[in-house]
Amino acid sequence: MEFSAEQIASLLHGEIEGTASAVVNTLAKIEEAKKGALSFLANPKYEEHIYNTESTICIVNKSFLPSKELPSTLTLIRVDDAYSCFAKLLEMYNNLKKKAPQREEPSFVDKSAQLGESLFLGAFSYIGQFSNIGNNVVIMQNSTIGDNVEIGDNTVIHPNVTIYHDCKIGKNCIIHAGSVIGSDGFGFAPNDQGEFQKVPQIGNVIVEDDVEIGANCAIDRATMGSTIIRKGVKIDNLCQIAHNVDVGTNSAMAAQVGIAGSAKIGERVMIGGQAGISGHLHIANDTKIVAQSGIPSTVKKAETLMGSPGIPLEDFKKSYFGFRKLPFILNKLNELENELKEFRKNQK
């Protein structure tokens, strides 16, 4: 599908600098783009590429001032925020590629399940008893939707996703390949013989609207009640969220984050990759947790934390500076001990 600079500028409320009739049919990074591609420049680190790019159209900020001559074949579209505008185009492009309504075979849908309009159901997928699937939902190949599951309108379930019984998925969600929603929480109690006895996990998982869950994540069902992923949360690949966790609105976590049972994560919390959060604690709204940090106790006010256990970022930097000087300090200490021994020897 082709779009002209004039059409793109109209969509983005941008200003054209160059040929309004210039046409593109693909999207590309500015350093890799070829003729017919639409690219963007938002980060000044990549400015050098705009002077030799083969892009036909490039979206730039209105504040961009070229320091050298631009290619004669390049048309600019100036906007207030090049990054967000390009993201908007990517979303539109992605929607154009969305699967057309279809039910591939073989697949299984229980007779008691309710299916909305314009469903795409991939081959070898399963929808269980009394499940309720909204309109314009995409369920890709080899996915399993358990009994009494609810999935809201416009949600996309990628291949090999498993959603256990009684879980609820909101509208406009995306769940990527291999993720498991509603597996049992890690609930075991030792008996008199020291053997672990399983505690039944009878709750569910609630994923609210506009949530995106990456590939190969595990979100455990609650022991009782619900594990809740609230509106607008973004979860990267390979994350583990344990039973009865509550992740607040518009929070985000990078890959390999682990959150232990019953932790309550506030709103707009940002968690770096491989961070670990202990159970039964609260994280204040707007907290930032640096990658590989460990949070063992409640965070009562918003701050940036780093280290294990996590401490305020500036304190961590000071501590790390001292840690780097430890070899020097130890050498000095050894020298002082030797001098002290020599001094004592001479006093005898």
| 82 closest CA partner among 55, 64, 56, 96 | 64
Question: pLDDT tens digit string along 298-324?
Answer: 999 999 999 989 988 888 888 887 888
Domain at 3-96, CATH class: alpha beta
pLDDT at position 348, please? 67
pTM of the model: 0.83
Q: Quick check: do 3-96 and 102-314 share a fold?
A: no
Residues 288 and 267: beta-carbon distance below 8 Å: no
Phi/psi zone of residue 235: left (φ > 0), alpha (ψ -120 to 50 degrees), beta? beta
The label of the residue with tokens 């999935």 reads: 151
pLDDT at position 329, please? 86
Question: What mean pLDDT is reported for the chain?
Answer: 94
CATH architecture of the domain with residue range 102-314: 3 Solenoid (2.160)
- Which tokens belong to 74? 């390049």
Give the domain ranges of the chain.
3-96, 102-314, 315-347
Q: What is the mean pLDDT of residues 137-144?
A: 97
Catalytic residue numbers, as ranges: 243
Q: What is the mean pLDDT of residues 192-196?
A: 92
Q: Residue 119, Cβ neighbours under 10 Å: how many? A: 20
Question: pLDDT tens digit string along 63-105?
Answer: 999 999 999 999 999 999 999 999 988 888 777 777 789 999 9
